Amino acid sequence: MITTDFVQPDQTSPAAGQHSDLPRGLRIVLSTAGAITSQALVVTAMLYYFGQVYTRTWFAHFGIDVGMLGYSIPEYVVRSMNGTFWPAVLALLATVALAGLRPIPILVAVRSRQPRRTLRRWFVFVVTLGASLLAAVAAGILLRAQLPAVMSRYLPLMLITGAALLGYAIALRMWFPVQLGPRRHRRSGRSTDSPWLTVLALLTLGFIGTLWAVGGYAADQAKKDATTAEATHFTDRPLVLLFSVDRLAIEGGASRVDPITVPDEKFRYVYSGLTLLARTPDRYFLIPYDWKAKRDRVFIIDMSDNIRIDIARHP
């Protein structure tokens, strides 16, 4: 006889019929919409964080505080693609590969002469490897001041892998309670209770590891992109001619100033050799097109009637 551990609610009680006035289809739609909305909010928050990390690191190469640019949340989300596209592709490929390889250990255990022992050995190996990785991450965090900087790239990957392995071990125990569960459950054939607290902790560790790993990659990619832009003289950005009524303190690098001697011309000076680094609704951030770190400055020009900005395509 199969018994249950819970009592069916009284169908005549108000609690049992409190949702009966909603059609089943509508309840499914509302539940699905809620799940999609919550996941969309989480994904948007993550993309905002990665976009901010990338943007802040990129402009830090030029000595600009990203807070001066006033970017909005959608702009950070769009800029996050520079630092998250390839990690997202690799993560999806890894997920597909792991999903395809998941049945292999089970098939090997089934075809072996001692499937239960083989499965339990695989379970012990997965748990040992996952716990070892998490222990190594904990030691790395405690000793991070003594570790080389390159370890900051491997620790988050180890954290994600360790959490995933322990989660896989929990799933194995739920799939095969007779072979892997405690003895009392193996005798009765009942599945073990799911350790939801452990699962929640592992999901949190995986989430933190993802923020850590992808955030670090976004920062490294931003440094690389900024250095490449400097080395290639900002060929992906437009050149600027700045006309001004008054003489401005713009000098250095390839920038130059020429007087305008045409009679009755409002603007008296023209600045060339500049490129547009960024702009806000009320400011232009200009640099010489051959800008060099620690040599040249960034010129911040406030928009007014006394200046005019002409933009040309970079040759």
Where would I find the beta strands (DSSP E) of 216-255? 239-244
Q: What pLDDT, on the 0 to 100 scale, is given for residue 82?
A: 93
Which pairing describes strands 256-259 and 269-280: parallel, antiparallel, or unpaired?
antiparallel
Write out pLDDT tens, residues 107-132: 888 888 888 888 999 999 999 999 99
What is the Cα–Cα distance from 176 to 278, expressed in whole angstroms? 58
Burial class (CB in 10 A: 0-12, 13-18, 19+), 80: buried
Share of the chain above pLDDT 90, in %: 62
Share of the chain above pLDDT 70, in %: 86
Q: What pLDDT, on the 0 to 100 scale, is given for residue 179?
A: 76
What is the Cα–Cα distance from 47 to 90, expressed in whole angstroms? 17
Where would I find the beta strands (DSSP E) of 189-298? 239-244, 256-259, 269-280, 283-288
Q: What pLDDT, on the 0 to 100 scale, is given for residue 105?
A: 86
Q: What pLDDT, on the 0 to 100 scale, is given for residue 10?
A: 47
Q: pTM of the prediction?
A: 0.81
Q: Is the pLDDT of residue 30 over 70?
A: no
Mean pLDDT of 267-275: 94
Q: What pLDDT, on the 0 to 100 scale, is given for residue 272?
A: 94
Please, what is the average pLDDT of the chain?
Answer: 86
Q: What pLDDT, on the 0 to 100 scale, is given for residue 29?
A: 65
What single DSSP character describes residue 13? S
Residue ranges of the domains in the chain? 25-229, 239-312
Write out pLDDT tens, residues 44-71: 999 999 999 999 999 999 999 999 999 9
Cβ partners under 8 Å of residue 137, min gap 6: 155, 158, 159, 162
What is the Cα–Cα distance from 222 to 61, expressed in whole angstroms? 9
Write out pLDDT tens, residues 161-208: 999 999 999 999 888 887 776 655 545 445 455 688 999 999 999 999
Q: Is the pLDDT of residue 73 over 80?
A: yes
Write out pLDDT tens, residues 284-315: 999 999 999 988 999 999 999 999 999 988 77
Mean pLDDT of 130-136: 96
pLDDT band of residue 210 (cuts 50, 70, 90) is: very high
